[in-house]
């Protein structure tokens, strides 16, 4: 089991932690005022426990880090983007069930 | 107890909410029920499979009778939607569409489920690129832009008023508004541009939303379209309280046999907890939650 949990990323470290990472990464763009974001947070944690060794699970607070979401044209939260080799492999908008998200991350395993 | 305070607050006045009100009231709890009867899926239904009644009963009559029964136990009914919920110091705060605030020891979610999607061309395609289902979540991304909200009820109107704080121009596309007079008054005195007697036919754009085509033939240029049908539902009102949703569909609230959610003092009953969509299941769950919530509130008051 991975030990790091869901990693908090921001505008400053997004490039080093996600884009230049060796592993693929799933980033949850969220904000504290957003109900559906809160609903999906425990799902991210569960997936991290299962797949954390091969995929980075991260979250980016759009309130504190506006530049990164703007770069990816994010206009709804939660938006979850799967990154591989610094590029967007896929993305999903809205609070989706765990099975849906699990199938999503398996694409880059 | 002050007027704006209660032991048990219930959102939704379908059979689940009414039965909860009857049983919580029966246990001498002070109960307030929020919501409109027309929103219950029972309102337009005829019931033939409800145990111990051979006659086909009109749903509307059942709802009226249930209200009277609950009122006999001193339950208070307020025909307003809830637009915001918060939990503070082990109590629940509820804000109504009129902007009134109530405080409750326990909260029973019985608002049912409703269609949230428009089912028009462009809706799925532009999700997250101009189409949004949550003003509270996404308003901030539309600073200085033109946006439209579509819907006839409290979620759309309160959403449009919220967006005034962010967007340049806010349009409200509606057929006929079903909201309280107070909210209507607020809307009429606001800068929201109301487009009445029409609906969204298609959402248009190249890479992101650029316009919506209306059923009256007009084209409205807009950067975003917020779909806010009906009243706020489970995801909007319960998720921010930290409620856990079912793993399979992420649409229903998880409860145990006491109808408790993962949040102490918070219960869920009826269609919102999942299938079957039956009055018998709704009243059964309502009965349990009403009793449990009243007991919980009494225990807290006595401690």
**pLDDT tens digits along B59-117:** 999 999 999 999 999 999 999 999 999 998 889 999 999 999 999 999 999 999 988 99
CA distance B261 to B279: 21
ipTM of the complex: 0.89
Query: Searching chain A, which residue's CA lies closest to the CA of residue B253?
Result: A39
Reduced to 3 states (helix: H, G, I; strand: E, B; else coil), residue B205 is: strand
Q: How confident is the prediction for chain B on average, in pLDDT?
A: 96
Mean pLDDT of the region B261-288: 97
CATH 3.40.50.970 fits A7-106, yes or no: no
What are the φ and ψ backbone dihedral angles of A3, each rounded to 5 degrees?
-105, -15
Which residue's entry shows tokens 């704080």? B165
Q: What is the pLDDT of residue A3?
A: 57
**Residue A2 pLDDT greater than 90, yes or no:** no
pTM of the predicted model as reported, rounded to 2 decimal places: 0.93
CA distance B162 to B268: 28
Q: What is the pLDDT of residue A30?
A: 97
Q: What is the pLDDT of residue B212?
A: 98
Q: Is A32 on the interface with B (CB under 8 A)?
A: no
Residue A34 designated active-site: yes
* Span between the terminal Cα atoms of chain B, in Å: 17
Strand partners, B227: B150
Residue A60 designated active-site: no
Of B127, B128, B235, the CB nearest to A95: B235
Mean pLDDT of the region B129-142: 95
**pLDDT tens digits along A35-87:** 999 999 999 999 999 999 999 999 999 999 999 999 999 999 999 999 999 99
Strand partners, B86: B93
**Residue A4 pLDDT greater than 80, yes or no:** no
Contacts of B159 in chain A (CB under 8 A): none
B25 to chain A nearest CA, in Å? 31
**pLDDT tens digits along B164-210:** 999 999 999 999 999 999 999 999 999 999 999 999 999 999 999 99
B250/A39 Cβ within 8 A: yes
Tokens of residue A62, six digits: 């759009």
Of A76, A91, A96, the CB nearest to B137: A76
Contacts of A38 in chain B (CB under 8 A): 239-240, 242
Q: What is the pLDDT of residue A33?
A: 87
**Residue A109 pLDDT greater than 90, yes or no:** no
Q: Which domains does chain B have, with CATH numbers?
A: 5-114+233-302 (3.50.50.60), 131-227 (3.50.50.60)
């Amino acid at each position: 089991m991975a030990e790091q949990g869901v990693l908090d990323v921001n505008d400053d470290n997004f490039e080093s932690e996600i884009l230049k990472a060796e592993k693929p990464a799933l980033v949850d763009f969220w904000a504290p005022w957003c109900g559906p974001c809160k609903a999906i947070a425990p799902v991210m944690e569960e997936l991290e426990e299962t797949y954390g060794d091969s995929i980075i699970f991260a979250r980016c607070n759009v309130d504190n880090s506006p530049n990164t979401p703007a770069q990816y044209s994010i206009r709804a939260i939660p938006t979850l983007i799967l990154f591989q080799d610094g590029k967007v492999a896929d993305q999903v908008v809205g609070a989706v069930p765990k099975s849906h998200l699990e199938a999503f991350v398996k694409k880059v395993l | 107890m002050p007027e704006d305070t209660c032991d048990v607050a219930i959102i939704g006045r379908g059979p689940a909410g009414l039965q909860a009100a009857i049983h919580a009231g029966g246990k001498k709890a002070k109960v307030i029920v929020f919501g409109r009867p027309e929103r219950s899926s029972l309102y337009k239904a005829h019931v033939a499979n409800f145990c111990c009644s051979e006659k086909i009963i009109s749903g509307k009559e059942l709802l009226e009778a249930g209200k009277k029964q609950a009122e006999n136990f001193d339950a208070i009914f307020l025909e307003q939607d809830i637009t915001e919920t918060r939990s503070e110091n082990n109590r629940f705060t509820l804000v109504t569409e009129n902007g009134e605030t109530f405080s409750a020891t326990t909260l029973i979610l019985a608002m049912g489920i409703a269609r949230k999607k428009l089912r028009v061309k462009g809706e799925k395609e532009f999700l997250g690129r101009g189409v949004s289902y949550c003003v509270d979540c996404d308003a901030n991304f539309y600073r200085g832009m033109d946006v439209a909200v579509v819907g006839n009820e409290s979620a759309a109107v309160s959403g449009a008023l919220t967006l005034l704080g962010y967007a340049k121009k806010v349009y409200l596309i509606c057929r006929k508004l079903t909201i309280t007079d107070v909210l209507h008054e607020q809307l009429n005195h606001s800068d929201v541009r109301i487009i009445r007697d029409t609906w969204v036919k298609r959402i248009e754009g190249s890479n992101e939303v650029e316009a919506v085509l209306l059923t009256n033939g007009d084209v409205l240029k807009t950067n975003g379209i917020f779909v806010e049908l009906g009243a706020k539902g489970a995801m909007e009102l319960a998720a921010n309280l930290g409620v856990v949703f079912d793993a399979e569909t992420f649409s229903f609230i998880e409860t145990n046999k006491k109808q408790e959610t993962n949040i102490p003092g918070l219960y869920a009953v009826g269609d919102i907890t999942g299938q079957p969509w039956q009055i018998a299941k709704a009243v059964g769950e309502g009965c349990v939650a009403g009793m449990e919530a009243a007991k919980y509130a009494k225990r807290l008051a006595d401690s």
